[in-house]
Amino acid sequence: MKALPSIAFSGFRGTSSEVTARQVRGRTVLSGRAQHPRVKTPGQSFRRASFSFISKQYRTLTDSQRRAWDTLAAAHREKSLTGDGTPLTGHNLFVCLNSNRSLLGVPLTRDTPDTVHGSSYVAFDDMWITPGRLLIAGLKDPDSPESRLVVKMAATDSTAVTKAWGKTVITGTFDTTDWGDIDLTEIYMERFGIPVTAGHKYFIEMYWIDELSGYVSEVTRVCYPAVESESIHGQEYEPRTRITDGELVDNERNSVSGLDIEFTSGSPLVSAAGTLVGYDGIAASYAYFSPDTDIPYESDSLSSYILVRGKETRAPQLFLMNIIRRSNENSIQFAHRGGFYSKSSDIVGGGLLM
């Protein structure tokens, strides 16, 4: 027979059977014993295995490499909630930086980085957390070109939950944005397997991290319940106008492939991607699209200089992109204007419409 102390009346602290007692301001508070689910997601299993592997690699370092990590750690202090710094060992810093580098797909480094650049806050204009769209808009580029955006998310089934930051998991890492936007809709579905649900609260962590040093210091956090269609600032989403291969007509005359022209809302900027196939005897390519295709400008002719790179030569070229509207047919002319001409070339950037 098991003898149990009277945890309700004797000031007992601790756990007995399925009950846990603790003292709070002179009062005994009882609660059910916490049960660990013992369930690990594939992502958690991979992350823990990666952490263990990286930690073991520290043993393989040479004495000089370990001294270098100790020296860097001594000059670097982990930021704490009190504002003071907590000392780090060389092993701590080695595991910390390489674990974060592994998130970005960057190989493990045994040598210390020249400098340790902390992560920077993520500045953005708006965010949509809706069943049909999970999108961050107006992202401001980081100072370092080696930075990548890391996004971590956690979902709850109630708006009453106030903290779930410890449950966030890596949703995606990005080395560039789509003209300031990051669309997480498909990535979220692949990662979590279910769409965003209106009324549920979502916790989102973001930071720009330098892939060379891999140190996380500043994190941007957003906690917001999903709604049907509006952004967190109450705006409806207006998709950008695009011209893609799906809008092209008269394929016998077209000399482009993988075309994707995107007009920026409220701005004369245009992004362009695709391959220029070209014609024999003329340094130009053409694309013909339906007159019903919406173009967010009233002018019958729009022009922009764009950069192009030869497929085989990789040589840079300058092309003039002319968007011409007619009553019966619209077309885009890509005319070579500078650089060593290559008949088959890739469009590598956009420009300013004139």
SS3 151: strand
What residue type is 141 in one-letter code?
D
Whether residue 60 lies inside any domain: the answer is yes
Ordered per-residue pLDDT tens for the chain, 354 residues? 344 445 444 556 666 666 677 666 566 666 655 554 454 555 555 555 577 888 889 999 999 999 999 888 887 765 543 345 567 788 988 888 888 888 777 888 899 887 777 777 888 999 999 999 999 988 887 777 778 888 989 888 777 777 888 788 777 788 777 678 888 888 888 888 888 999 899 999 998 888 777 777 788 999 999 999 999 999 898 877 888 888 888 778 888 989 888 887 667 788 888 999 988 888 999 989 887 777 777 777 889 999 999 988 889 999 999 988 887 888 889 999 999 999 999 998 788 888
Same domain, residue pair 272 and 330: yes
283 burial type by CB count under 10 A (0-12 exposed, 13-18 middle, 19+ buried): middle
Domain-terminating residue out of 225, 258, 286: 225
Alpha carbons within 13 A on the beta-carbon side of 133: 19
Encoded tokens for 155: 């979902």
The one-character DSSP state at 248 is B
Whether residue 305 lies inside any domain: the answer is yes
Q: Which domain holds residue 13?
A: 1-35
Quick check: pTM over 0.85? no
The one-character DSSP state at 113 is P
Same domain, residue pair 247 and 339: yes
Cα–Cα distance measured from residue 60 to residue 162, given in angstroms and rounded to the nearest whole number? 43
Whether residue 99 lies inside any domain: the answer is yes
Same domain, residue pair 193 and 248: no
Number of compact structural domains in the chain: 4
**Phi-psi domain of 56 (left: phi exceeds 0; alpha: psi -120 through 50; beta: other):** alpha
Give the CATH number of the domain where residue 281 resides. 2.60.90
Same domain, residue pair 248 and 341: yes
Give the CATH number of the domain where residue 140 resides. 2.60.40
Whether residue 145 lies inside any domain: the answer is yes
Same domain, residue pair 200 and 265: no
Same domain, residue pair 253 and 322: yes
Same domain, residue pair 263 and 334: yes
Encoded tokens for 216: 């996380």
Whether residue 234 lies inside any domain: the answer is no
Cβ-contact 126, 231 below 8 angstroms: yes
Same domain, residue pair 250 and 300: yes
Cα–Cα distance measured from residue 198 to residue 131, given in angstroms and rounded to the nearest whole number? 6
Domain-terminating residue out of 173, 191, 225: 225
pLDDT of residue 80: 42
Whether residue 230 lies inside any domain: the answer is no
Cα–Cα distance measured from residue 300 to residue 330, given in angstroms and rounded to the nearest whole number? 9
28 burial type by CB count under 10 A (0-12 exposed, 13-18 middle, 19+ buried): middle
Instruction: Provide the Cα torsion 312, 315, 319, 323; round to 10°.
Output: 40
pLDDT of residue 81: 39
Same domain, residue pair 246 and 346: yes
Same domain, residue pair 212 and 258: no
Domain-terminating residue out of 103, 118, 151: 103
Whether residue 210 lies inside any domain: the answer is yes
Same domain, residue pair 315 and 342: yes
Same domain, residue pair 9 and 72: no
Phi, psi of 64 (to 5 degrees): -65, -35
Whether residue 317 lies inside any domain: the answer is yes
